[in-house]
Amino acid sequence: MAYEIHLAAFDGPFDLLLHLIQKNEIDIYDIPIAEITAQYLDYLAQMEALDLEIASEFLVMAATLLSIKARLLLPKPPPELLSEEEAADYDPRQELVRELLEYKRIKEAAAVLADFYQKRQLQMARPNDISLYSDLFGEPNPLAGKTVADLAAAFQPIWQRARNAEQIHTIKREAVSIALMTDRLLQRLRQAPAGIRFEDIFAASASRLQVIVAFLALLELTKISVVKVRQATPDAAIYILPVDLDRLTEQEGE
């Protein structure tokens, strides 16, 4: 009776070994080398019968399995002749098990990536034109291209000036708060609707605490779009401009 032999394609000898282990439900940490070697050689024999070219790495693995099988048949040296480390590493299958586990991890990771790729192929990217989303956002950023880092850099010389001007004296609790500094800044902006220079926010005689609190008040007003920051060029002076000085009062009233 004629019959056909169908052989699965394997990526390499480790792929074939892993298939045989999983097919026979074998513990990968305790491989029956004789049984697995017989099945592995049977697979190569079927490939030869079908005139299929056998890759060299499959033959190298066959030689490795036969070598391990032969070593397992040799009598094990008496324990007293082996050190603890030698006794623990005497099993000739250990290196093969380590390589199989590493291959298994790589194969599983490749399967995850392949699945992700297949799902990604079913997706279509939306056009990322900013004009499509501009109506979803509010007013422009009040910093207008400036960042907190830019303000911090401009703040450094003012902070140094306050540190140099401050003298050692008896410590007194200063009556200063963000609310107080916010009111003072709003008053100054109401008197200067065209804006004021960043450096002029901080009094020359201000203590370090007053400078810090004034800076925090400015950041808070910028965050809620009560004021905005402008700078004509990177080297030009930074100006604080009023936007909606009554917004803070309206929010408190609510």
Asked whether residue 173 falls in the same domain as residue 95, the answer is no
Residue 237 lies in a domain: yes
Asked whether residue 157 falls in the same domain as residue 249, the answer is yes
Asked whether residue 69 falls in the same domain as residue 149, the answer is no
List, in sequence order, every residue forming a beta bridge with 242; answer none if it has no partner. Answer: 227
pLDDT tier at 183, thresholds 50, 70, 90: confident
Asked whether residue 28 falls in the same domain as residue 101, the answer is yes
**Given a cut of 50, is residue 6 above it in pLDDT?**
no
Q: What percent of the chain has pLDDT over 70?
A: 72
Q: Which two tokens stand for residue 176?
A: 């200063």
Asked whether residue 111 falls in the same domain as residue 150, the answer is no
| pLDDT single digits (tens) 200-253 | 888 777 778 888 888 888 888 888 888 888 887 877 888 888 888 777 665 555
Asked whether residue 109 falls in the same domain as residue 180, the answer is no
Asked whether residue 150 falls in the same domain as residue 248, the answer is yes
Asked whether residue 81 falls in the same domain as residue 145, the answer is no
pLDDT tier at 61, thresholds 50, 70, 90: confident
Based on the structure, what is the number of domains in the chain? Answer: 2
Burial 20-39 (b: 16+ CB within 10 A, else e): bbeeeeeeeeebebeebbeb
Residue 86 lies in a domain: yes
List, in sequence order, every residue forming a beta bridge with 22; answer none if it has no partner. Answer: none
Give the C-alpha separation, 70 to 34, whole Å. 9
Asked whether residue 145 falls in the same domain as residue 213, the answer is yes
Asked whether residue 184 falls in the same domain as residue 230, the answer is yes
Residue 173 lies in a domain: yes
Mean pLDDT, rounded, for 56-71: 83
Residue 2 lies in a domain: no
- Please name the residue that has the structure tokens 């169908």: 6
**Of 8 and 184, the one with more pLDDT:** 184
pLDDT of residue 213: 86
Residue 131 lies in a domain: no
Domain stop point among 58, 88, 121: 121
**CATH code (residue 201):** 1.10.10.580
**Given a cut of 50, is residue 141 above it in pLDDT?**
yes
Confirm if 55 and 48 have CB atoms less than 8 A apart: no
Straight-line distance from the first to the last Cα atom of the chain, in angstroms, rounded to the nearest whole number: 93
Considering the entire predicted model, what is its pTM? 0.41
**Given a cut of 60, is residue 27 above it in pLDDT?**
yes
pLDDT of residue 252: 54
Q: How many residues does the chain have?
A: 254
Domain stop point among 87, 121, 155: 121
Give the C-alpha separation, 71 to 93, whole Å. 10
Residue 1 lies in a domain: no
Residue 201 lies in a domain: yes
| pLDDT single digits (tens) 80-108 | 666 666 655 567 888 888 888 888 888 88
pLDDT of residue 2: 36
Mean pLDDT, rounded, for 121-138: 65
pLDDT tier at 4, thresholds 50, 70, 90: very low
Q: What one-character-per-residue DSSP string does 229-248 give? A: EE-SSTTSPPEEEES-TTHH
- Name, of 8-22, 47-61, 96-110, 240-254, the range with top average pLDDT: 96-110
Asked whether residue 145 falls in the same domain as residue 115, the answer is no
- Name, of 47-56, 125-134, 220-229, 243-252, the range with top average pLDDT: 220-229
Mean pLDDT estimate for the chain = 76
The range of the structural domain enclosing residue 186 comes to 140-253
Asked whether residue 171 falls in the same domain as residue 202, the answer is yes
Domain stop point among 88, 121, 154: 121
Three-class SS state of 1: coil
pLDDT of residue 43: 84
Residue 199 lies in a domain: yes
